[in-house]
Amino acid sequence: MPNLNLVHQDTKQDRRDYEEIARRIAGRASDITVFIVGTKDTGWADPTSVAGASTLTVSPMPIKRFVPPRGAICQGFEYPKGEQYEMLERIGVAVPKWQRIGPKVALDPAEWGPYVVVKPELGRKGAEIFIKRAGRVRYRPPESYPEDHPVRKAPLLAQRFVYTGTWPSNFRVVTLFGDALLCWRCEASHSYVPLRSRWDFKAKGGITVVSNKRDSRYELAFDEDVITLARQAHRAFPEQPLLGTDIVRDAESGKPFVIECNPRGDAWLISSVMGRLIEQANGLDFAGQFGALEIATEALIRETRARAR
């Protein structure tokens, strides 16, 4: 009779989602007892918990103060982007060519193309991502950057530019233990300077290569190859329950590439504050796209029976 602890974090998941999942599990898996616990709960105990029962604790994001009394734990963890790429490449998942920018960096435009993307290993929401001429990429020591710059914590990366079209776009696939809960496509606002062709970066006024901005447009996506790639990517992170995998599609070849998996787990977009804002602004229903709560229920039953100890 295993226990399943679902760890909740305010603003990141609506508690009612967990309650509905617990109700569904109770209705079809009487061998599993579900407990909903706050990530900051200390000294947690539930009198209905079976003493010594095998247990699985699932927390989409890193647990803050709650200490599971026993059993296996699957929780979010923030791997730097370079580590993510290494893990993905080991299992054969396509990522754009990349390299950490170190003291001896020298990028050959014949190999990388005339422009590359420069981004921090640890960065969020598209911050500090730039396009730069490959031959001009140079190393700067971390102490030469402002104190709040992400390079103070981890290196910058150079990555081969993937041309996604006139305006940058990407897909986000949210997976729970490898099962897809939702998939969207977002595209940068057409108020930005268009990129008419792959290397047309000479236009005045600046061209953005980041698609997920406040004024971006979102739509539900059903691209099977993108969803399959995200499911494959989740195999690189077997202990992280929730991923928000970002994928770009080359506009000319059609090939999709993973650019980030967000294994920290801030991706329960079916009811997080950010997810709800995107839904409202674009008239979308993330939970209804594939039936996210039903998929989550089945995944958690399966994983509890396989992992609880």
pLDDT in tens, the chain (309 residues): 899 999 999 999 999 999 999 999 999 999 999 999 999 998 777 656 666 799 999 999 999 999 998 999 999 999 999 999 999 999 999 999 999 999 999 999 999 999 999 999 987 665 678 899 999 999 999 999 888 888 888 899 999 999 999 999 999 999 999 999 999 999 999 998 899 999 998 765 567 788 887 789 999 999 999 999 999 999 999 999 999 999 999 999 999 999 999 999 999 999 999 999 999 999 999 999 999 999 999 999 999 999 999
Q: Which of 223, 122, 121 is nearest to 171 (CA)?
A: 223
Predicted local distance difference test score (pLDDT) of residue 212: 80
SS3 142: helix
CA 302 to chain centroid: 22
Predicted local distance difference test score (pLDDT) of residue 203: 60
Residue 299 CA: distances (Å) to CA of 29, 58, 129, 172, 268: 12, 11, 35, 20, 15
Burial of 135 from C-beta contacts in 10 A (0-12 / 13-18 / 19+): middle
Predicted local distance difference test score (pLDDT) of residue 136: 95
Predicted local distance difference test score (pLDDT) of residue 207: 72
pTM for the complete prediction? 0.94
Strand pairing category for 217-220 and 179-187: antiparallel
CA separation for the pair 137, 256 (Å, rounded): 26
Residue spans per domain, the chain: 3-76+291-307, 79-94+162-264, 97-161
Predicted local distance difference test score (pLDDT) of residue 177: 98
Predicted local distance difference test score (pLDDT) of residue 292: 98
In terms of CATH, what superfamily is 79-94+162-264? Answer: ATP-grasp fold, B domain (3.30.470.20)
Angle at 168 (CA atoms; ends 166, 171), nearest 5 degrees: 130
